[in-house]
Amino acid sequence: MADSHSHACCDSSGPIPKDEVAAHDGCCGSDHGHSHDSAEFNLRQELTPIAIAAILFLIGLIFNERLHNTPFAVAEYAVLIPAYLISGWTVLTTAGRNILRGRIFDENFLMTIATLGAIAIHEIPEAVAVMLFFQVGELFQGYSVGRSRRSIKALLEVRPDTANLSVDGDIRAVAPETVRVGDVIVVRPGEKVPLDGNILEGKSLVDTSALTGESLPRTVAPGETVLAGMINQSGLLTVQVTKPFGESSIARILELVENASSKKADTEKFITRFARYYTPVVVFLSLAVAILPPLFIEGATQAQWVYRALVLLVISCPCGLVISIPLGYFGGVGGAAKRGILVKGSTYLDTLAQVKTVVFDKTGTLTQGNFRVTNVVTHNGLKKHQLLELAAQVESQSTHPVAQSIRQAYGQTVDISGVQDYEEIAGHGIRAQVNGRTVLAGNDRLLHRENIPHDVCTVDGTVAHLAVDGEYSGRIIIADELKKDAVEAIQALHAQGIQTAMLTGDSQSVADSIAKKLGLDQYRAELLPEDKVNALEEFLQRASQTKSKVAFVGDGINDAPVIARADVGIAMGGLGSDAAIETADVVIMTDAPSKVAVAIQIAHKTRRIVWQNISLAMAVKALFIALGAIGLATLWEAVFADVGVALLAILNAGRIIRHPQ
């Protein structure tokens, strides 16, 4: 774990199932309407048929009486039927396909029956209006979804367009998707790395900010790994591809945000189920309205009640709900992406809105994770440079930030020829044979485990103790710094009424200092990896009593078990790693802990807007259904009740993108 390197003295010791895919692309999960799955929403292309239909509709409306008075009303049909077909073709064809598939009672069926019925009783302008305004609603939906996608694309403008493939000394530009594992590519200065791979030749600085949020370029050399999306800043790099483009980090991130709808919120699932039962009820109720009153009410005409039934059908279409609710959540995901926060699905937005406790890891989450050696204390006659050399040798295979800081402090090439039998002891440290001597490097817990006498247990700072052949040889003190926005992050969470806590494997003294500086509500130190999971279980148990949720924020690699166990797992700046993408529910691309509070704010706003849309749609539809049943609402009012509510809900959902906080 990230903080397992040091402990104070005398301490003795899956996967979430995928929900059904949300239906963003058209009402009621149908496949009609606009191509919302396309990379870009082409407004001109989508607007052209609507504009043509609208012109024909206006001509038919303005000159309706004159057109109607032609023989057999042929001019009226010649103008309005093309407008009807142009605006309603996708609805009509989708309704037909769905009937053949056995999916009869959906939005398309309701609208088809209502509009064909209107044409049958010669209310053609109303039929065109229903289809035309429905397509306008679909246009707004497509535009809103496109804007959400653009927010995500702007964040991830790191997708490479071409790869320079090297074949027998010849360089040619090809699509990254066509490059195979084992192929060799060349990345020139200023170009994006197109695929994940290992450097064969060249040394350079690479900008990793788009993937990891790190502001400083990273030096890479032969033998090191580069990831798709990094930008080569200086030298020419020859890279051997290790993953096909579809499995590269950047491709997986793009897939992650594009498929965020696959994790549906409970509200979305409820509305989907509601529409499934609601629609057939409406159809049979409308049928009853058309047939029964003329049989039992004196003076009631068939035409009058058929018209009312058609009005009821159009009013009752659940389009406002079925479009706007998924769109509201999708807007939340897009609004979060605009702020550098990737949310894997709307269900996590719902859960974030219920979070009342946020638990942080320390190293790399609240602190920089950039350790540096501040003091070297030796015993048994060793000099400082000898102790540093010994520590650098035994830590030569470790990727832990403490190990890296020791090697950096040593400042020379580490001779590892004499290092053998390397063993990493989880939560304690490292044991290895160095030139025939048994060397231990780790925390205070390791010394107690191996029964090695030592004079100092509690040290102010992160510490790596060393022992050679069972004798204490000294310690190296390492300092870490708080992230710039760590204090702001805790204050922002407290302002929202959220409790904060920290779980760390570091020493009690270090934890005390960090907690005091940040103003944390709770903290626990000297935790082994399994201890962190157990501690989180206690937070989860307490939260369940108040029906609230717990979020855990970690580095996404070392804290994967705790991230997976939390109600919401949040990874900090770990987008270069598979562990972050696979385990976390939310990923903070900018590596800033203050974004946790922003994510929760977005979740609250999303949930508020979604429920505003539900309330609006239900209230308006209930009112107009009542008016339609008693004959006070026409098809024109029905169009407003259906499409008007949908438009208002879509515009309301768009506020999440415009004002993500």
With beta carbons less than 8 A apart as the criterion, state whether 495 and 384 touch: no
**DSSP 3-state assignment of 509?**
helix
CB count in 10 Å sphere of residue 68: 16
**DSSP 3-state assignment of 13?**
coil
**Whole-number Å distance between alpha carbons of 261 and 449:** 49
**Whole-number Å distance between alpha carbons of 54 and 347:** 39
Element (H, E) at 197: strand 197-201
With beta carbons less than 8 A apart as the criterion, state whether 483 and 366 touch: yes
C-alpha closest to that of 241 among 185, 197, 202:
197
**Whole-number Å distance between alpha carbons of 314 and 624:** 10
**Whole-number Å distance between alpha carbons of 608 and 614:** 10
What is the pairing mode between strands 549-554 and 355-360?
parallel
Where does residue 519 rank: exposed (0-12), middle (13-18), buried (19+ CB within 10 A)?
Answer: exposed
CB count in 10 Å sphere of residue 127: 28
CB count in 10 Å sphere of residue 468: 20
Where does residue 229 rank: exposed (0-12), middle (13-18), buried (19+ CB within 10 A)?
Answer: buried
C-alpha closest to that of 486 among 588, 594, 571:
594
With beta carbons less than 8 A apart as the criterion, state whether 612 and 628 touch: no
CA atoms within 13 A on the CB side of 119: 18
Give me 305's structure tokens. Answer: 């009640």
With beta carbons less than 8 A apart as the criterion, state whether 76 and 124 touch: yes
C-alpha closest to that of 11 among 548, 528, 565:
528
**Whole-number Å distance between alpha carbons of 429 and 441:** 6
**Whole-number Å distance between alpha carbons of 312 and 289:** 9
Q: Please name every residue paired with 438 in a beta bridge, in sequence order, or none if there are none.
A: 433
DSSP letter, residue 16: P
Element (H, E) at 479: strand 471-479
**DSSP 3-state assignment of 459?**
coil
Active site residues: 361
**Whole-number Å distance between alpha carbons of 313 and 642:** 10
DSSP letter, residue 640: I
Chain-centroid distance, C-alpha 569: 12
Integer CA distances (angstroms), 361 to 8, 205, 271, 485, 519, in order: 18, 30, 37, 15, 15
Give me 280's structure tokens. Answer: 């057939």
C-alpha closest to that of 518 among 538, 536, 494:
494
Integer CA distances (angstroms), 289 to 297, 302, 319, 597, 624, in order: 12, 10, 22, 52, 15
Q: Provide the Cα torsion 577, 582, 588, 590; round to 10°.
A: 20
Helix axes 645-653 and 124-155, enclosed angle (nearest 10): 10
